[in-house]
Amino acid sequence: MFTTEIFTSFVWNLFKIKHMQNAVLITIGDEILSGNTVDTNSNFIATELKNIGIKVSQIITISDEIETIKSTLKSAFEMGDLVITTGGLGPTRDDKTKKALAEFFDDEIALDEATFEHLKAYMERRGRIEILERNREQAFVPTKSTVFQNHFGTAPCMMMQQNGKLSFSLPGVPYEVKPLIKDQIIPYLKEKFNLNYISTRIVSVVGIPESILADQIEEWELALPKNLALSYLPVGTRVKLRLTATGTDENVLQVQLEDEIQKLFPIIGENIIATSEDKIEKILGEILSEKKLTISTAESCTGGELALLITSNPGSSKYFIGGVVAYATQKKTDILGVSEGIIERFTVVSEEVAREMAEGCQNLFKTDISLSTTGVAGPGKGEDGKEVGLVYYTIKVKNESQTFKLYMPHLDRQDFIYFVSQKIIQDLVGILIAQ
Amino acid sequence: MFTTEIFTSFVWNLFKIKHMQNAVLITIGDEILSGNTVDTNSNFIATELKNIGIKVSQIITISDEIETIKSTLKSAFEMGDLVITTGGLGPTRDDKTKKALAEFFDDEIALDEATFEHLKAYMERRGRIEILERNREQAFVPTKSTVFQNHFGTAPCMMMQQNGKLSFSLPGVPYEVKPLIKDQIIPYLKEKFNLNYISTRIVSVVGIPESILADQIEEWELALPKNLALSYLPVGTRVKLRLTATGTDENVLQVQLEDEIQKLFPIIGENIIATSEDKIEKILGEILSEKKLTISTAESCTGGELALLITSNPGSSKYFIGGVVAYATQKKTDILGVSEGIIERFTVVSEEVAREMAEGCQNLFKTDISLSTTGVAGPGKGEDGKEVGLVYYTIKVKNESQTFKLYMPHLDRQDFIYFVSQKIIQDLVGILIAQ
């Protein structure tokens, strides 16, 4: 057992690794296989590794059984230079990763004093004076491992090496994984290896279906340099073109990417809404900040998703003033000033109500832009008998108001709310760019 | 090539399969390996399979390369009775799954007339008169495959068989995957196989850390019948105990599960907040409906997540009246009636402001319960200089108001918003149960 520092100074030269190009991620946990939990750790780790030029070639989710863990470690080490496991390190009976690690590396588990001290301090800070035997067990690690201490949980991260390849075993809790990866493992890998760079740019295209887009840019795609790869990612009615460049010089890659993106403009320039940002809420944030415009929301069927989407962008407090979720019909009248006559005449899920909601929202929050939604997310029909999947939304920019209708009966409640919200922000971006 | 019906009638007896116990899911897509997209399909499919007694033993995410797809199909068929692939079937150059399928099954790809007709009708319905060569290619399938038509996209689902095992290849778009699985594949599997039943119950426990809980229920856990498995799933400060029972008689399993859960009450009864529902927003929905209570929200740092969480439960319109996202300080005063003097004296991120927000919210929406949040989600500090990760929230039930403080500086913006919202609903459930 070594601390990171000692390990660095004398063990390192024993296995200087040239290659650190690709990684395999192993997610250990029955809760993911049973559909109880979505694996978000792999997504986070893959992004972080990509940013330092390490490509993830496989993500494998397995159950928490010693033999399965061992055989998966074996195939992962054959495939990747780096193996990262998450999960299976909790204090309870169903976590078997540590035993599997020790067996796989032909090692034993022993108490690591430094880890135990760290654990005690951690628990005392959290007001837990009594240290259970079960907690003490968490300070047992394979003797050949290098421990990276976990500052936000009780399970330590263990690094092992085999034939010049590395593995890291982390707990499964996302807010423990994130700092371990970001603050400890990534800096460590950057320091130890000469890494390739991977640069990515995303071009957001609207108004062309994926297949027609593919036809239009086919020549451009076929002429791309060999170190550039293209992917199509449809998100709602938007298509994201992802260009990934791999090489040794970051600046060269960036110039290459910019060059290729510029060549797209003569072909599909009118349909491109962004070439740097990936997420629609970030694209919106940039435009609103640049144009110094403020925005507010009045939601019914989207239940707060529109506000959440806009505010999920850090710095959104500069342009997002506020929102109302007017779920009950009466509140559309009370708070947003939608006239009762209009509701009676056209029903609550109607073009007219959407328009009045946006109007009332703009007045309430005194913003340049307001967005409104009224519809039926399902699974039950609307109070007014309107069909599931129907929504009217209004985008009001200063004095100009446009109302749209969407009918998506095939989407379930959650997908409907997500799709509609993405589409509204996307439409707004289109309107603002065209101005 | 067969339609499902013809296939059923005469091919079926050729390979009657006894076992259909476990499945392997293969996700094909560089966008997941690069961290661009979170794989939500596997989660959905795993849940649906579990419900009909098929256990997912592995989920593998691989890149869109013919050789990789073939070798993964090989190992998946060794491991599982059923293989389901998603992704890699789009109309663009980067999708290679179909070629890999044909090579793996020693087959050829040919135009399937029925699929082409279906595709044409689908596109015409969507207003696309011109059928591109690229679209026509989507009607090419391996000749040995049975096609399940996709009613919500252009890529068909193909079923293949090998040594009495089955594979289904689906596109990757979640809203195409869901109906294919739910409306076609699951009914098909249920009809064709004698399946085991898997029953799951989740017991939600609050107020005990995972390790102490594990100690307290150790005897109970060790005495569980062999066909029952227990998992611990920590979610925020709640621990979900998942009990899974496998067997041939669904009623027997349900009785077994109920029996074991009843034995938990003498041990940790005070800490159990639910024994049937999994999600905190569903637990809340049941309690509110039963007690006939209404609720509203006034959010600042959570940006709409609290409203979205409550309304994500179908039927929430019965108890959720509405919410305000008062992002700008001025709106806390204008809409919620928080006094300017209080904000000046205590700053906007304070116990006092949280309390007044909940008060104002209850008045505005005329609800029995109101919830409020004011805090700093980061990454930048609050306007008033308050630290990132600090939040005050108030839970007001009728005339009783309680304000809490949380400080979670280690969480990023997104996790912070999620954690805080979960915690508030969890606290509210605790309060309502204790009444």
pLDDT in tens, A10-22: 444 444 455 688 9
Q: What is the pTM of this model?
A: 0.82
Looking at the structure, tell me whether residues A252 and A310 fall in a common domain: no
Of the candidates B49, B134, B234, the beta carbon closest to that of A211 is on B134
Distance in angstroms (rounded) separating the CA atoms of residues B191 and B5: 13
Of the candidates A231, A307, A320, the beta carbon closest to that of B31 is on A231
Residue B8 lies in a domain: no
Write out chain A residues lying below 8 Å of B244, CB-based.
34
Looking at the structure, tell me whether residues A205 and A182 fall in a common domain: no
Rounded mean pLDDT of B319-331? 95
Rounded mean pLDDT of B225-249? 88
- The angle, 0 to 180 degrees and rounded to 10, between the axes of the packed helices B280-291 and B413-434 is 30
Residue A3 lies in a domain: no
Residue B243 pairs in a beta bridge with B201, B230
Decide if A43 and B35 are in contact by the 8 Å CB cutoff: yes
Looking at A139, A171, A192, which one is the last position of a domain? A192
Nearest to B388 by CA among B415, B362, B419, B413: B413
Confidence band (pLDDT; 50, 70, 90) for B93?
low
**Residue B170 domain boundaries:** 22-192
Q: Average per-residue pLDDT in chain A?
A: 90
Looking at the structure, tell me whether residues B31 and B174 fall in a common domain: yes
Residue A426 lies in a domain: yes
CATH number, position A261: 3.30.70.1430
Looking at A151, A173, A192, which one is the last position of a domain? A192
Looking at the structure, tell me whether residues B114 and B100 fall in a common domain: yes
Of the candidates B132, B230, B242, the beta carbon closest to that of A211 is on B132
Looking at the structure, tell me whether residues B337 and B356 fall in a common domain: yes
A94 at B interface, C-beta within 8 A: yes
Confidence band (pLDDT; 50, 70, 90) for A95?
low
Q: Is residue B190 pLDDT above 70, yes or no?
A: yes
pLDDT in tens, A363-380: 999 999 999 999 999 888
Residues 226-265 of B with CB under 8 A from A: 229-234, 242, 244
- B304 and A304 Cβ atoms separated by less than 8 Å: yes
Which of B33, B300, B408 to substitute to test the interface with A, most A CBs within 10 Å? B33
Looking at the structure, tell me whether residues A133 and A167 fall in a common domain: yes
Rounded mean pLDDT of B285-313? 96
Split into its structural domains, chain B has a count of: 3
Complete DSSP assignment for A215-237: HHTHHHHHTS-TTEEEEEEEETT
What is the maximal distance between C-alpha atoms in chain B? 81
Residue A49 lies in a domain: yes
Give all strands (DSSP E) within B286-342, no chain letters: 295-299, 320-326
Looking at the structure, tell me whether residues A402 and A356 fall in a common domain: yes
Looking at the structure, tell me whether residues A65 and A170 fall in a common domain: yes
pLDDT in tens, A243-279: 999 888 889 999 999 999 999 999 999 999 999 877 8
CATH number, position B324: 3.90.950.20
Backbone torsions φ then ψ of B413, nearest 5 degrees: -50, -50
Backbone torsions φ then ψ of A336, nearest 5 degrees: -100, -5
Three-state SS at B112: coil
Looking at A225, A241, A274, which one is the last position of a domain? A274
A134 at B interface, C-beta within 8 A: yes
Residue A6 lies in a domain: no
Residues 152-181 of A with CB under 8 A from B: 152, 154, 173-175, 178-179
Looking at the structure, tell me whether residues B59 and B74 fall in a common domain: yes
Of the candidates B212, B325, B380, the beta carbon closest to that of A307 is on B325
Looking at the structure, tell me whether residues B284 and B413 fall in a common domain: yes
Write out chain A residues lying below 8 Å of B33, CB-based.
46, 55-59
A285: Cβ–Cβ under 8 A, 6 or more apart, which residues? A313, A315, A316, A319
Looking at the structure, tell me whether residues A177 and A130 fall in a common domain: yes
Distance in angstroms (rounded) separating the CA atoms of residues A198 and A200: 7
CATH number, position B181: 3.40.980.10
Residue A11 lies in a domain: no
Which of A308, A316, A332 to substitute to test the interface with B, most B CBs within 10 Å? A308
Structure token pair of residue B69 = 């797809």
Residue B14 lies in a domain: no
Q: CB atoms < 10 A from the CB of B30, how many?
A: 23
If one compares B35 and A170, the residue with the highest pLDDT of the two is: A170
Structure token pair of residue B218 = 């150790």
A263: Cβ–Cβ under 8 A, 6 or more apart, which residues? A220
Looking at the structure, tell me whether residues A67 and A166 fall in a common domain: yes
Residue B17 lies in a domain: no
